[in-house]
Amino acid sequence: EVQLVESGEDLVQPGGSLRLSCAASGFTFSNYAMSWVRQAPGKGLEWVSAISGSGGSTSYADSLRGRLTISRDNSKNTLYLQMNTLRAEDTAVYYCAKAWSNWGSSGFDSWGQGTLVTVSS
Amino acid sequence: EIVLTQSPGTLSLSPGERATLSCRASQSVSSSYLAWYQQKPGQAPRLLIYGASSRVTGIPDRFSGSGSGTDFTLTISRLEPEDFAVYYCQQYGSSPYTFGQGTKLEIK
């Protein structure tokens, strides 16, 4: 059974930084691309970033590029999202999601339970 | 960036009725790389349909997807109480992999 467990939930001041983690199990982690998707309180889903199975290719939402870095450690079956210069509008539940391919055109067939990031002074 | 517009924003129906949800793209979605997700309060989204019309294993056959190009539809043939939720379409043909704003399906 695929399991994705996010961690890193925190209250952060504007301008601060935070790293989220997603521990994966139940599948061969390195074979699949992974993404982060976020959802602001009471709002819809917003794709944030994706990384290929090897970690060699990444993609970011244009509005977030430059403030985020997605990475993965296939030896630890863990996905990361480093977020810098956080703003109030970054407040959201952040989900990690598993793609059904190694890279390229793929939706998400498994999701974590989400971790809440709150940016406030 | 491909913008997805879902309609209606809210759909009020009764159990047993048929639901038709629309997703329109601002440009053609390549190879019908369009997915539908269901999200219930406090839960993560769940994949229902991929490739515009392929149902995920385990999803009841009352759920069906159709469409191509810029117009896509999710149909729930006969609503069950557990189907009342928010539904999102997503295109995954080109980055950024955008979502629609969602359709809330509520009990009338």
pLDDT digits 0-9 by tens, B49-84: 999 999 999 999 999 999 999 999 999 999 999 999
Q: What is the mean pLDDT of chain A?
A: 95
B97 touches chain A (CB under 8 A): yes
The pLDDT tens digits for A20-70 are 999 999 999 999 999 999 999 999 999 999 999 999 999 999 988 889 999
Report residue A9's pLDDT band, with 50, 70 and 90 as the boundaries. confident
The pLDDT tens digits for B16-50 are 999 999 999 999 998 889 999 999 999 999 999 99
B82 touches chain A (CB under 8 A): no
Buried b (16+ CB within 10 A) or exposed e, B8-39: eeebebeeeeebebbbbbeeebeebbbbbbbb
Residue in chain B lying closest to A36 (CA):
B97
A108 touches chain B (CB under 8 A): yes
Residue identified by tokens 């598993």 is A98
B-chain residues near A42 (CB < 8 A): none
Predicted confidence at residue A104, as pLDDT, reads 82
Are A70 and A53 spatial neighbours (Cβ–Cβ below 8 Å)? no
Report residue A2's pLDDT band, with 50, 70 and 90 as the boundaries. very high
- Check whether the bond before B41 is cis (ω within 30° of 0): no
Which of B72, B92, B98 to probe by mutation at the A interface, max A CB count within 10 Å? B92
Share of chain A above pLDDT 90, in %: 89
Question: Which amino acid would we find at residue A24?
Answer: A
B24 touches chain A (CB under 8 A): no
| The dihedral formed by the CA atoms of A88, A19, A17 and A113, expressed in degrees to the nearest 10 | 10
